[in-house]
Amino acid sequence: MTAQRPAYYSDLEQCVDALLAKVGKKVVIAGGFGRPIHIFNELYRRAVADPSIQLTIITGVSFSRPRGSSDLERRFLEPFVDRVFGNLPELEYVEPYQKGRLPENIEIVEVFLQAGTYLGNKHAQQNYVYSNFTHWLRDMIEQGCNVFSQMIAKREIDGELVYSMSHDAYALDILPRLQALREEGKQVAVIGQVNDELPFMYNDAIVPVETYDIILDAPQYNHTLLGPPSPSVDTVDYMIGLNASSLLPDGGTIQIGIGSLGDAITYGCILRHERNRQYKEVLAELGITERFGEIVAQIGDTEPFDKGLYGSTEMFADGFRHLYNHGILKRAVYDDVGLQRLVNAGRIGSVITAESLAVLVEEGLVSARLSSGDLAFLQKYGFINETVALEDGLLRCSDGTAIEANLGDPAVLEQISSHCMGEELKRGIVLHAGFFLGPQAMYRQLGSMPEADAKKICMTDIAYVNQLYGCEEIARLQRQNARFMNTSIMITLLGAACSDGLEDGRKISGVGGQYNFVSMAHALDDARSILMCRSTRTKGDQITSNIVWNYGHTTIPAHLRDIVITEYGIAMLRGQREKDVVARMLNIADSRFQQQLLEQAKSAGKIPDNYEIPPQFRNNLPEKLERVVSRLRPEGMFPAYPFGSDFTREELVLADVLQHLKTDMGSRRTLIKTLAGAVGAAGEPPQAAMPYLERMGLSNPEDIKHIAVQKLILAELKHLGYI
């Protein structure tokens, strides 16, 4: 901490002047998703204008608004983007960064790339830091970070203005590192930019004002938060989510990520909890119960959630919000080792009783004759009313009753029960997370949550949620029956996973916390690592298996293999022989590629020459899954957007149309058919098509090019049954 009050500014230029005066012209500024965009942009402008300023920006996922690569995509995206992203400022360095036109005195260092965007960008690939997110803050210091920056939230509590790191509380770990640099005599700064759109988060996210050297606070710097819209969820995602949801034991711990697979897991959990009969019927119809029932019985469950789940995750994704809203994310944990141990053993419940107090005395958490420290403990967790005072060995209650402070006396326990006992255990946390990212609806709910609900969420240090080191005793007690679920791009037959890069060394995204959660799953006695992978990918006419024999880049090595899920089932790999790992991976591969994969394994001598894939696993085909899902969609199951969408009704239709057009145009077999359909759409557009054409600005096309585009859209609308 600065050990002094911060300097406050309401003017951006003056704020940056003060920052440069403090740290000099060599600025290495770091920030995550909650980076203060106005400050980043002003520093970038200064460095462009003054080559003597050496500016290094250390960040992750340098966001830019989606624009579309064609006139058609732009017509669709621009109104949507303007509506959803509001007045979110652009990061001004992103365009020259993407185009390779950064000035020589400016460099961008990222630990996580916007997926697939920078594969051909030499600056991004050469300056990328391949680091576990858990170690990112340490590595910022290694990179020479002298400015850490973030958006912050403010609120008046008990007459005092307090600040919250909100969705960037993961950065708590960098503060002592920067303080160590200060003590070495180096000039460093922690800077916060207040954004009133940012939800105020409690618990660990609240930091002393002295944390910051500089605070920028003025209404003109409030802006819409970065919030990717809720994705659509397709059949493959849903099937993976269903499989994953069956591996969650009631009373356990869950980690899930952002995107369609996270939403699919969430949907599977809600289906299991609220429509349990149908949930089990779907698992049976898909063959999951028959083929993988033993696995589910061994490590998971298919019954509704009675005790509920606790979340311990790097990213607070939108799925956790829905799990909370549906009464699934409800298993509370506590920050006291002794108390958590008693809760785990079922000796202390959520409802406070006189017996609860007796148990605390018996286990030595408080003394029979209460001290002031004992009373503080009891009041902190709700065992005794907060209005009670301890004076001269007596508990003085708000109703005027005085009770001897001796919990060893049954009569005293009875008096406390009548006059000053609490009703429910307090300070329970249902979700620990390092940062959050989600759609605007998520931010609105977090911003309007009642205080009691908001305090059940603890945004905290990334080192706490991503590993056991430094907090092992309490973490082990809290993270009971953990299921850490992560996504992979490809998985080999021997269980190694590729999640973030290509075999030529180029990085697609980043490892994030995946390795740490996989490793932690092996370190916790009853935890499991679950890697999810779509069995195939499609580009144009070409379908490729994501289950491969081998691949030249590894994110998770085979010796850390555990559970792998595809849309076709579950493979338990931990502790298994190589031949059994291969066989189990083949069982969840797409059947169009199984034989080739089997031959590769045989050629390498990793499975017996006479091995054959069992018949019940030879029908792993998308058509089988689609038949089940298509039958159930009319009953309201498996909707394209299970948790709502930022798209209007017309936009949802157009998104489907444009996706099909893109696929058709990339396929030689369907291109001629698509163009023929467009020619056949001559004449005046039908009235039913007008809302879609008006949304695209094509109701009155001005030239032959736009007339042709209009006809393509009309043909696809008709082909898909929308008109």
172, 276, 316, 372 from 257: Cα distances, Å: 21, 24, 8, 43
66, 343, 372, 395, 401 from 391: Cα distances, Å: 64, 30, 9, 7, 12
Closest CA to 622 of 668, 564, 566, 673: 566
Pairing verdict, β 147-157 and 26-30: parallel
| Separation of CA 318 from chain center | 7
The DSSP code sequence of 627-648 is HHHHHHGGGT-S-SSTT--SS-
pLDDT in tens, 287-327: 999 999 999 999 999 999 999 999 999 999 999 999 999 99
pLDDT in tens, 265-289: 999 999 999 999 999 999 999 999 9
Q: Yes or no: say if 533 and 564 are a contact pair by the CB < 8 Å rule.
A: yes
**CATH number for the 235-332+452-617 domain, one of 3.40.1080.20, 3.40.50.1860, 3.20.20.30, 3.50.50.60?**
3.40.1080.20
Mean pLDDT over 689-703 rounds to 92
d(CA 405, CA 716): 78
For tokens 């209404």, the residue is: 219
CATH 3.40.1080.10 domain span(s) along the chain: 7-221
Q: Provide the 10 A C-beta neighbour count for residue 132.
A: 20
d(CA 654, CA 516): 40
| Predicted TM-score (pTM) of this structure | 0.94
For tokens 């779907």, the residue is: 282
pLDDT in tens, 602-647: 999 999 999 999 999 999 999 999 999 999 999 999 999 999 999 9
pLDDT of residue 666: 54
- 75's CB contacts (< 8 A; 6+ apart) are 68, 696, 697, 698
| Pair of tokens at residue 678 | 């467009």
Based on its alpha-carbon atoms, the radius of gyration of the chain, rounded to whole angstroms, reads 28
Q: Provide the 10 A C-beta neighbour count for residue 672.
A: 10
pLDDT of residue 385: 95
- Residues in the chain, overall count: 723
pLDDT of residue 661: 86
CATH 3.40.1080.20 domain span(s) along the chain: 235-332+452-617
pLDDT above 50 for 225? yes
The 3-state secondary structure of 584-611, one letter per residue: HHHHCCCHHHHHHHHHHHHHCCCCCCCC
Whether CATH 3.40.1080.10 fits 7-221: yes
pLDDT above 70 for 481? yes
pLDDT in tens, 349-381: 999 999 999 999 999 999 999 999 999 999 999
**Residue 675: pLDDT band by 50, 70, 90 thresholds?**
very low
Torsion of CA 109, 114, 119, 124, to 10 degrees: -10
